[in-house]
A and B are shown apart, each in its own frame.
Chain A
Amino acid sequence: MNKESVCAACSCERELDQEQLVDRLNEILVEYKFKDGGLIPALQIAQGLFGYLPEHVLRHIATEMNKPYSEVAGVVGFYSFFSTQPRGENVIKVCLGTACYVRGGKQVLDSIKKELSIDVGETTSDKVFTLEVARCFGACGLAPAIMINDDVHQRVKPARIKQIIAPYYANKLEEA
């Protein structure tokens, strides 16, 4: 899996306009078009490019890959990794796997919800954060864990949330 495909909140493609993004997608689709099992990697890459999977992109993929649109949408809806809503620059994933849940993952989640004033699956109005829940990053020994983009934060305490997310705001300020 290349970096482009996993980095949902990647900003490196942001300068490209929609048309250029579709051109880019078409170049990539050539590789996956006729491959069995090519739909999921194609969707991952598309999400990497667009930041999320807008309907027009899904329709485009369905047409190009000669797959029923209902099926493409069904696959997108099945996997929680795919998002059809625009996402923030940073995606926070709170682990609610068994170990994290038992050690207070739920309280961590509540604290983030309160701090950002958003619910699970939502994005802050300034588009800086999107909040998601996940099941196990393989960091059970250091539960509860959260991920912000590719960074794993371990033994998170609800009271430390403000402190943890602050640097990501700082990035935003630097860019500005």
Chain B
Amino acid sequence: MINLTIDNTPFRVNKGTTVLEACKQAGINIPTLCYLEKIQAIGACRVCLVEIDGIKDLVASCVMPASEGMKIHTNNNRVREARKVVVELLLSEHEGDCKTCDRNEDCELQNIAHDLGIKELRYEGAKAPRYQDHSTVGLVRNSAKCISCRRCVTVCTETQSVSALFPQSRGFKTTIGPAFGHGLNTVTCVQCGQCAAVCPVGAISENDQTAEVWAALDNPALTVVVQTAPAIRAALGECFGMEPGTLVTGKMTTALRRMGFDAIFDTNFSADLTIMEEGTELLTRLKKALVDGEQVALPMFTSCSPGWIQFMEYYYPDMLPNLSTCKSPQQMMGAMVKTYYARKIGKKPEEIFMVSIMPCTAKKFEAARAEMNSSGAQDVDIVLTTRELGKMITQAGLDFQSLEDSKMDAPLGLGSGAADIFANTGGVMEAALRTAYELVTGRELPFENLHVAPVAGLEGIKEASIKIEGTLPAWSFLEGVTAKVAVVHSLGNARKLVERIRAGEAEYHFVEVMTCPGGCISGGGQPRITTDEVRKKRIAAIYAEDEGKTLRKSHENEAVAKLYEEFLGAPLGHLSHELLHTKYYAKERI
């Protein structure tokens, strides 16, 4: 332990603590901009300045290790004035168009300026270089609002191992982006939006498509159908000042209905459908390998996360056969709404406008992929992020917190608890195991409360193995087999695992990959800023939603069973193949 004083009060902190962390433990919040807990501490923005006795200059507390006997001053005139000047200088080059900025009232720079009591801009200077990037459907960048904090660079490079963004040029002319001011479409950006999720200002955001949805809702010729991903219900409340992890499924449904959507369906339904298809696909691959002695690509990787799909297309095109051919739940829903449901209500696919609410910016890209049109029209027309939905609810004048709860519509509004947990890392694997194990053995998955504890939680790479015993006759080839599975989240971890598999250092049957750290609950389209604390709260809410249901296994979803009976036939059948499965394309790395 280290003894130090902060603002004349003695404190004890662990060795290795930074001054910023020590102050936080002492209940003092020091303003920060470039700092991102556990991800980046580089002392670049200079907002976190403190005074330390014996050191002439003020120091950036985020990178200063605490030491024995240190006397820290966080709140004297010199410190306050210095922080103010730092922020005023940032504002002097910032495109300060707060009124019309996407981040108005949700901006870290604006908040800090307010907290520091900046009432006038004393410095007038040249503005930061201005260029805008609208080259992708998922993300929009505006360099004039960028404060060069480098959070996005670190997340893109270290967390995601994609490195689409890097500081270009130097000094005042520095911009953050791909080479030579090109668009994100010229690099291996997978549009995961983690850059947008950590941006403290309005420099990177999702491509706002709310206007197109309002237009569709106003168009009497269109039947406007909406689906909501499981991760939304644990985060949307944050857009209205509610605690992270507040479940708002019922209020969200009411809001969507009041906004004028004709049918409100649950991506949970198609997550259950995914489990039926993907589980069958896995068992088929295993049968081919173990019984027929055929060459099949194993391990099989999950395919729900569009950022991960693009990552494979760019970096490991030779392993595309390892990806499950299942479309993501979003796209399965789109295809089912514009075929099965369309037929039920007597509409043509083009008379239906399909909107998705997703925690994700890459889903915008996925929906726009040329091959995602198996209904004859584009299966999903527009994808909105959680944040965009939050804005639309506000625009609709709805007082979200006081809305009553209501239920989603039949038949595609029914989802199991297994589908809920698709929202977080380990969830797809757990859902798949709940169904596959029971299908093969006739018995329930032998884990407490059906939770596969070894693959839950925020550890980067997780593994589990399950010995299959007492199989039903049809699956006797799996008797005694130890099924080995792995779960990874964030593309950096995915890359590590893929490299291990390629080097022959690890062997699995089935691997779940989610692009974002923690899974979809902290996707690029979720309310900002997502720390591990927020992740844990959202995950807890998702598990609570699962445990609160009687229906907790995908294969027990009656609406899914009815869909097979009335329309699809059987999992991996001809129609499933046409509508629910897809192909992947090797892409040149640029």
Residues of A within 8 A of B (CB): 55, 58-59, 63, 68-74, 77-78, 84
Contact = CB atoms under 8 A, between A and B. Distances in A.
Contact of A55 (B164, B168, B180, B187): B180
Interface in B448-501: none
Contacts of B188: 68
B170 A77 contact: yes
A68 B589 CA distance: 10
B590 A70 contact: no
A70 B188 CA distance: 10
B179 interface: yes
Contacts of B165: 70
Given A68-B163, A70-B187, A71-B163, A77 B169 contact: yes
Interface in B137-162: 157, 162
Nearest to B588: A63
A73 B178 CA distance: 8
B16 interface: no
Contacts of A84: 180
Contacts of A59: 590
Given A55-B180, A58-B179, A84-B180, A70 B589 contact: no
Contacts of A55: 179-180
- Please give me the 4 A-B residue pairs with the lowest Cβ-Cβ distance, nearest first: A73-B179, A68-B163, A70-B166, A74-B166
Nearest to B170: A78
- B contacts with A: majority SS: loop
Contacts of A72: 179
Interface in B216-256: none
Interface of B: 157, 162-170, 177-180, 187-188, 589-590
A156 to B, nearest CB: 27
Contacts of A73: 166, 168, 178-180
Contacts of A69: 178-179, 187, 590
A16 B84 CA distance: 58
A74 B590 contact: no
Contacts of B179: 55, 58, 69-70, 72-74
Contacts of B166: 68, 70-71, 73-74
7 contacts: A68-B188, A69-B179, A70-B164, A70-B177, A71-B166, A73-B180, A77-B169
B3 to A, nearest CB: 40
A77 B187 CA distance: 17
Contact of B589 (A63, A71, A74, A78): A63
Considering residues B166, B177, B188, which has the most beta carbons from chain A within 10 angstroms of its beta carbon?
Answer: B166
Contacts of B178: 69-70, 73
A68 B189 CA distance: 11
A78 B589 CA distance: 24
A68 B163 CA distance: 6
A72 B165 CA distance: 11
B570 to A, nearest CB: 45
A93 to B, nearest CB: 18
B163 A78 contact: no
A70 B163 contact: yes
Nearest to B157: A68
Contacts of B164: 68, 70
Considering residues B164, B179, B590, which has the most beta carbons from chain A within 10 angstroms of its beta carbon?
Answer: B179
A70 B141 CA distance: 16
Nearest to B173: A77
B177 to A, nearest CB: 8
Contacts of B168: 70, 73-74, 77
Contacts of B170: 77-78
A71 B180 CA distance: 11
Given A68-B157, A70-B187, A73-B180, A78 B590 contact: no
Contacts of A63: 589
Contact of B169 (A58, A68, A70, A78): A78
Contacts of A68: 157, 162-164, 166, 187-188
Contacts of A71: 157, 163, 166
Given A68-B166, A72-B179, A73-B178, 13 more contacts: A59-B590, A68-B162, A68-B163, A68-B164, A69-B590, A70-B166, A71-B166, A74-B166, A74-B168, A74-B179, A77-B180, A78-B170, A84-B180
Nearest to A74: B166
Considering residues A59, A70, A72, A77, which has the most beta carbons from chain B within 10 angstroms of its beta carbon?
Answer: A70
Considering residues B164, B168, B188, which has the most beta carbons from chain A within 10 angstroms of its beta carbon?
Answer: B168
Contacts of A78: 167, 169-170
Nearest to A68: B163
